[in-house]
């Protein structure tokens, strides 16, 4: 299959693009490199430097690549930033996605996998969270993805678009060659490991008063290679006009303090923690009910253990002390 991967120079997009190449697909990566890294694009993929919001540029890439399908990772993904810069998130996540979808409809590309998020659920009524739980995001980031999901549902009905919205939980870990290199870094595991490596003095722990066993927020951590595998299975199973929505997670939650302890165990180093206020838009617990993707696509997390996830990230950061600039 010929697949266009937007945001394929970023963390999850690059690992997925690599998995697609290894699977034998013909991959074109489209990225503007504002937050992605050219060195993260797998050698077997074609690279196109373009902004996904530029509909005409995307159309030219779709035509040149003769794409059969699109995987869409290009987006901003920080909950706290989305609350401070709402219009930027609606423009970059919702508006750019609509431009991409418009170009796809024009070029009759009718298979689409969306990088969505558990943030669409907000604070759930029950945990683990099934796909039919009420969608009520508590952040602009979550809302920006909900709007894209709703657009996809209408395009499935009116334009025969086949789509899978993958609502995944907390991506973490690394492969041997590809890892997490955000500037600035905001994700928990690499932040904790930066403290272990002496790059920052302490971890800012945002909130100890959540209604959880140790008072810190609980999340479901899924290894990035497992996440990539879910995308591969989804695009290979998808047919035009078909609508699928899946959670992608392990079904097990870990608190912030449990992640810190896992990082201490893996690194053998002390990691200082400093308390900070809660961040707006952060629910107490987000854990996936992943039975639908297990039954629908046969997907299972192959690296479900938190220590293994952390260990893979630690190996990558030690071998890439300056990220992709190493």
Catalytic residue numbers, as ranges: 141
For residue 242 the two structure tokens come to 């078909």
For residue 195, how many other CB atoms are within 10 A of its CB?
Answer: 22
What does the alpha-carbon distance between residue 195 and residue 202 come to, in Å, rounded to a whole number?
6
Q: In angstroms, what is the C-alpha Rg of the chain?
A: 19
3-state secondary structure of 151: helix
Q: Confirm if 245 and 274 have CB atoms less than 8 A apart.
A: no
Question: How do the residues of the chain divide into helix, strand and coil, expressed in percent and rounded to 5?
Answer: 40, 20, 40
Helix (H, G, I), strand (E, B), or coil: what is residue 306?
helix
Neighbours of 39 (CB within 10 A): 15
Question: 111-117 and 162-168: which strand pairing?
Answer: parallel
Q: What is the DSSP letter of 160?
A: -
CA angle 118, 176, 43 (to 5 degrees): 95
75, with CB counted inside 10 A (0-12, 13-18, 19+), is buried
Other C-beta atoms closer than 10 Å to the C-beta of 142 total 24
Q: How many residues does the chain have?
A: 326
Q: What angle do CA 47, 50, 233 make, to 5 degrees?
A: 55
Are the C-beta atoms of 241 and 171 separated by less than 8 Å? no
């Amino acid at each position: 299959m010929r697949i266009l991967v937007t945001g394929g120079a970023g963390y999850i997009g690059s690992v997925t693009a690599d998995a697609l190449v290894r699977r034998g697909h013909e991959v074109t990566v489209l990225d503007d490199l504002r937050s992605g890294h050219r060195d993260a694009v797998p050698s077997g993929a074609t690279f196109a430097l373009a902004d996904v919001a530029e509909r005409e540029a995307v159309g030219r890439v779709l035509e040149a690549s003769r794409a059969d399908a699109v995987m869409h990772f290009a987006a901003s993904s920080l909950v706290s930033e989305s609350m401070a810069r709402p219009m930027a998130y609606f423009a970059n996540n919702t508006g750019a996605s609509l431009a991409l979808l418009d170009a796809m409809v024009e070029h009759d590309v009718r298979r689409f996998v969306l990088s969505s998020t558990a943030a669409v659920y907000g604070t759930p009524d029950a945990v683990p969270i099934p796909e039919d739980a009420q969608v009520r995001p508590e952040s602009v980031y979550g809302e920006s993805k909900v709007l894209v999901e709703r657009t996809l549902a209408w395009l499935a009905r009116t334009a025969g678009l086949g789509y899978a919205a993958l609502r995944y939980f907390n991506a973490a870990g690394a492969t041997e060659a590809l890892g997490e290199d955000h500037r600035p870094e905001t994700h928990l595991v690499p932040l904790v490991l930066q403290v272990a490596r002496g790059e920052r003095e302490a971890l800012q722990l945002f909130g100890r008063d959540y209604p959880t066993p140790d008072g810190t927020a609980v999340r479901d951590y899924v290894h990035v290679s497992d996440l990539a595998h879910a995308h591969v299975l989804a695009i290979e199973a998808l047919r035009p006009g078909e609508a699928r929505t899946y959670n992608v997670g392990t079904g097990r939650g870990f608190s912030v303090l449990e992640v810190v302890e896992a990082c201490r165990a893996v690194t053998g180093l002390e990691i200082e923690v400093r308390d900070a206020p809660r961040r707006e838009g952060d629910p107490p617990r987000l854990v996936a009910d992943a039975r639908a993707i297990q039954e629908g696509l046969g997907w299972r997390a192959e690296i479900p253990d938190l220590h293994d996830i952390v260990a893979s990230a630690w190996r990558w950061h030690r071998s890439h002390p300056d990220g992709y600039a190493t």
